[in-house]
A and B are shown apart, each in its own frame.
Chain A
Amino acid sequence: MNDDASNSLPLAPAALHILLSLAAEDLHGYGIMQDVARQSEGKYKLRPGTLYDNLQKLIRRRWVEELGQKPGDDDPRRRYYRLSSLGRGVLAAETARLASVVREARLRLQVAKPRRA
């Protein structure tokens, strides 16, 4: 799993956002789109073509599982998706990678500031 995860990093923005959406709860496609828009405060808009293309890949990699329809949903055509443990591991690895990038960036920006003064 570690190999798979490290080979796949860094994640493409669409994949990252999708995994992030599913990390909190199981969602259908439209739910993922809305959650991604919310995460990025509307700056990143995921359209169905990109969404399902990425879902297709994520399912193939077994990072995301397809749960099928949920009884009682107002639209029977919707299917729900869940983050697998594998996907969760990948997301954790990516988050750690990003965190180190952010840490490094902050460090450098802080060092650079006094010079400019």
Chain B
Amino acid sequence: MVNGEAYEAKPLESVTALLEEMGIGGRPVVVVLNGEVIPAASWNARGLREGDRVELFRLVGGG
């Protein structure tokens, strides 16, 4: 699950890989995996499994 929507994916090695596949790679986002904020430094090391809930946030304009 990514941002509340089911996401079909090949088993992924890491958060980094997911971001690459989604076309985000390199752009600033916050990754929340199963309710836990994953610091950018850990993206490479963190693997993903079936049933994981991922949320991604970015900055937009706001007052």
Partners in one complex: no
